[in-house]
Amino acid sequence: MEDIIKKQIDRELTIVSNEQTAYKVFKMVLKGDTSLFTAPGQFINIKLPGFYLRRPISVSDYDSEGLTIIYKVVGNGTDYLSTMKAGDTLSCLMGLGNGFSVEACGDHVLLVGGGVGTPPMYGLAKALIGMGKKVSVVLGFNSAADVFYEEEFKALGKESGGIEVRVATVDGSYGTKGFVTDCLEGLDDITDYCACGPMPMLKALYRYYDGKKCGQLSFEERMGCGFGACVGCSISTNSGFKKVCKDGPVFSSEDVML
C-alpha cells in the first residue's frame, strides 16, 4: 500500500519557515511540487518520524512553487511539527479531498471560518476575488489570543475597495461576543456561503440559513489514511454514507444531515 501511495500522490516538501502566529497556532510555508492541487479547500496528510498515523492539515494557500499550512498544536504529532525548522523535509500526501467549487458560488459569497477552520477560507477568498466575486468574511475564535489572519483577509480586497471581516470570540475579549452566527446581521444580500470549522459551528450555520441560502460545508474529522481506504471518517448524508477524506471534506448543505 505504501508503495502505491508513493507512486501516486506522495511528495517531499521542504520547510521554508515555521512560525507561531497565535496561541498554539503555527504558520508553515513549504516549497515543492503542488501540481496535484486543483481547488481551495483540499488538504495534505503529513508523515512525521516516529508517528504511525499521518496528520491531515488543510492548505491555506498554494501556488506553483509551494504552499502554506496553518495548524494548531493539539497533541504530540502537531507538537513535534511545531519544532521543525527551515530546511527540514516532510513526506506529504498531496491534493487530497475535493475542495470548494468556486464555479458554483454566486456574486456575493460569505466565508465563515471557525478556529483552525479559518485557513482554507483564505485560499478560497483569493480565488473568489480573482473571479470578481464580492466576499464577506466572518471568523470565530475562543478568545483574543486565538485570533489570526484577520488582517490578511482584509489585505486581500484592498485593490477592489476592501472586504468586510467580522470576528467573534466566545469570551468577548475581541470583536463580537459570542459565535459566528452573532455576526451575520446585515449580510442578507449574500448569494451563498462557504464554511469550515467545528461541527457545532457548521450545525449552527446550517440551521441559521435553514435552506434559504446554498452552502458548501467543509468537515473536520479524524482520519486514518486520508484517501478513502480505511473508512474511518465516514459520515451519514442524504445520499448515503460518504468519506470525508475522499468524497469531502466539502459537502453541499443540501446533501448533509445536520
Cell numbers given for 175: 470583536
Domain boundary among 47, 70, 96: 96
Nearest to 105 by CA among 209, 164, 213, 192: 192
The pTM is what? Answer: 0.93
pLDDT, position 4:
43
Q: Side chain identity at 65, as an amino acid letter?
A: E
For residues 179 and 171, the answer to whether their CB atoms sit within 8 Å is no
**Residue 92: helix, strand or coil by DSSP?**
strand
pLDDT, position 92:
94
- Residues 137 and 210 occupy one common structural domain: yes
pLDDT, position 157:
77
Give the helix, strand, coil percentages of the chain, each rounded to 5: 25, 35, 40
For residues 70 and 117, the answer to whether their CB atoms sit within 8 Å is no
- Residues 38 and 61 occupy one common structural domain: yes
* Rounded CA separation 237/171 (Å): 33
Please give the average pLDDT of every successive group of 10 residues along the chain, which has 258 residues: 55 97 97 95 95 93 96 96 98 94 96 97 96 96 97 85 91 98 95 96 95 90 76 83 90 89
For residue 226, being part of any structural domain is answered with no
- Residues 170 and 152 occupy one common structural domain: yes
Contacts made by residues 36-39, CB under 8 angstroms, sequence distance 24+: 36/9, 36/11, 36/94, 36/95, 37/62, 37/67, 37/94, 37/95, 38/95, 38/99, 39/98, 39/99, 39/100, 39/101, 39/102
pLDDT, position 142:
97
Per the structure, the complete domain to which residue 71 belongs is given by 2-96
